Chain A
């Protein structure tokens, strides 16, 4: 049973506009959430994270929002750039440092 879900397999956005990637989870015991970016033929790389005690974390062009009551988080990229084109995975941590990943969203930023 998928505990972390990314329901949009793909997303296309014009360069300069906002990209919003969504993620839902089912386990209320998750205490930390992370976003990773993955290019083809490479391992995922860490992008940004948020603790369950916060509702927003910002790092440059990237902002992650957490809505615990809805069990939903989102990643905002503003402004989107062609180099942001990649697959984005959200992940959730539970006690014992086990992580559960979503299925990924492929973002294409159109120049």
Chain B
């Protein structure tokens, strides 16, 4: 199994509070991704990173920010949580080189915003 962990695994927070989710990898992969999974929408890309301090927006980036100060850590911050951000969040990593494009996913973080 790819070495990828997410913390926390579960979180309940109130509307308007900031929340930070952490993704940690031990594979030294270049690419890291944050997705959210919602019924009827599958997995949607929030932000991704292609190197330390190099990040870009995905399909559903509004209300989220990310940071990557080390190769192994990719943080997702909800600046002011809203009920629409209640979801399951998955981090993924990928070597992204040659033809090796497969992604390895973390176990997910279930976030509930009340």
- B43 and A32 contact, CB distance less than 8 A: no
- Nearest-neighbor residue (CB-CB) of B48 within chain A: A98
- A97 and B94 contact, CB distance less than 8 A: yes
Residues of A58-111 contacting chain B, CB below 8 A: 89, 91, 93, 96-104
- A89 and B43 contact, CB distance less than 8 A: yes
Pick the interface stretch among B14-22, B62-70, B74-82, B98-106: B98-106
Q: Tally A residues with Cβ within 8 Å of B.
A: 24
A-B contacts counted at CB < 8 A amount to 59
User: Which residues of the other chain, B, contact A21 by a CB distance below 8 angstroms?
Assistant: none
Known contacts A99-B33, A102-B42, A103-B40: A43-B99 contact under CB 8 Å: no
Question: Given contacts A43-B106, A97-B96, A99-B33, could you give 19 more A-B pairs where the C-beta distance is less than 8 Å?
Answer: A32-B101, A36-B105, A42-B107, A44-B103, A45-B105, A46-B102, A46-B103, A46-B104, A49-B102, A91-B43, A96-B50, A97-B31, A98-B48, A98-B58, A99-B45, A101-B43, A101-B44, A103-B40, A104-B42
